[in-house]
Amino acid sequence: MNHSCDDMKIKLAARDIISLAAATGCPKRLLAVGSTGPESIPLRDYAAALGKRIGCQVIVVMLESPMPAPEPASPVFSFAGLVAPIGAATGWQRGFFELRIPRQYVKEAVEELSRSMKRIEFILTDSDNIKEILSETAIQPVFRIEAVNPEPGGSPMSTDSKANTMKDIITTAVLGVITVALYTAVFWKADLVMRLFTRGGAYAALPIGTVFVFSFAHGAFASRLWSLLGIQARPKTEAYKNVTASPQPQKTKRTRAYAHVNPFHNLDLRGK
């Protein structure tokens, strides 16, 4: 997640939802709009984590690739029954639901969901284009999020990452050579080393200092070696970072006026 103005707004919105849910005991909802491909997995993960964190039901609208132009005889996309399956789905009981719609109907679908589902507090998306489309019509705030770590294999390796890999290999090799040199130095003159290191007293500094030096060199080498072999710690999902960190339980319950419907949201005042 890139730290942007949207991050702060999401935090504030999430905090509002927590206080509202606490005050009313009523679950809130958030809507995530992205594509069906793997590039939207971070968005879905983020929405799921955010929903879980703030006690909010999550509706994910996945936009399928543009359909071929409808033939004159083909039926027009209908929203009848769009909401009914959500209510009936077992997944919804756990507060998460995914929905697929053709990409060209995104505006209408979000409008319909907002009208029918109620209590949709804000919309998340991973696309500038969708944000632009929805900002024109949606009554809720729309936030664009951006994944920090692209999916492995999702995008071709960039020149930068190739350069970084080469740099990692060189660093690992250098640390490896240093480690081997240190081991060689000790075992080359093992007799002398043993004589000095087992004298006791102040000579105790020798074995203690040696293991420290070895642990720094060999430890750094081992760490980079595992990294190069692809064995790395599961990355902390950065997208979750600001969510888990931000909403603190509030000491006092704030009550405030809240409107779910903006009757003027469809009015286009720009031309007037």
Partner 1 sequence: MQDLQQAISFIDLSAGTVIFLFVVGFIGGLVSGFIGSGGAFVLTPGMMSLGVPGTVAVASNMCHKFPKAMVGAYKRFKYGQVDIKLGLFLAASAVVGVQAGIKIQNWILDLWGQAGSNLYVSVSFVLVLVVVGGYVFIDACRSRKACGVESIATLARKLQSVQLPPMIYFKRADVRISLWFTIPVGFATGMLAATIAVGGFIGVPGMIYVLGVSGFVASATELVIAFVMGLGGSINWAMHGMVDIRLTLIILAGSLLGVQLGAIGTTYVKEHMIKNVMGIIMLMVAVSRALAIPEYLDQLAVISINATSLGWLNKLSFTIMCLALLVGAAIILTAMFKARREEAALSRQPVPATVTTPT
Residues at the contact surface with partner 1, assessed by CB under 8 A? 36-38, 41, 44, 62, 74-75, 77-78, 80-82, 85-86, 89, 91, 97-102, 151-154, 183, 186-187, 190, 193-194, 197-201, 203-208, 210-212, 214-215, 218-219, 222-223, 225-226, 231-234, 236
Q: How far is the CB of 100 from partner 1 (least distance, A)?
A: 5
Nearer to partner 1, 13 or 42 (CB): 42
Q: Between residues 189 and 254, which has the closer beta carbon with respect to partner 1?
A: 189
- Least Cβ distance, residue 120 to partner 1 (angstroms): 17
Q: Which two tokens stand for residue 121?
A: 């507090």
CB of 116 to partner 1, least distance (A): 13
Nearer CB in complex with partner 1: 91/255:
91
Q: Which is nearer to partner 1, 190 or 267 (CB)?
A: 190
Q: 27 or 150: whose CB is closer to partner 1?
A: 150
- CA–CA separation, 67 vs 64, rounded Å? 8
* Secondary structure in 3-state letters for the chain: CCCCHHHHHHHHHHHHHHHHHHHHCCCEEEEEEEECCHHHHHHHHHHHHHHHHHCEEEEEEEEECCCCCCCCCCCCCCCCCCCHHHHHCCHHHHCEEEEEEEHHHHHHHHHHHHHHHCCEEEEEECCHHHHHHHHHHCCCCEEECCCCCCCCCCCCCCHHHHHHHHHHHHHHHHHHHHHHHHHHHHHHCHHHHHHHHCCCHHHHHHHHHHHHHHHHHHHHHHHHHHHHCCCCCCCCCHHHHHHHHCCCCCCCCCCCCCCCCCCCCCCCCCCC
Q: How far is the CB of 23 from partner 1 (least distance, A)?
A: 26
Q: Which is nearer to partner 1, 20 or 109 (CB)?
A: 109
Least distance (Å) between residue 269 CB and partner 1: 32
Q: How far is the CB of 262 from partner 1 (least distance, A)?
A: 26
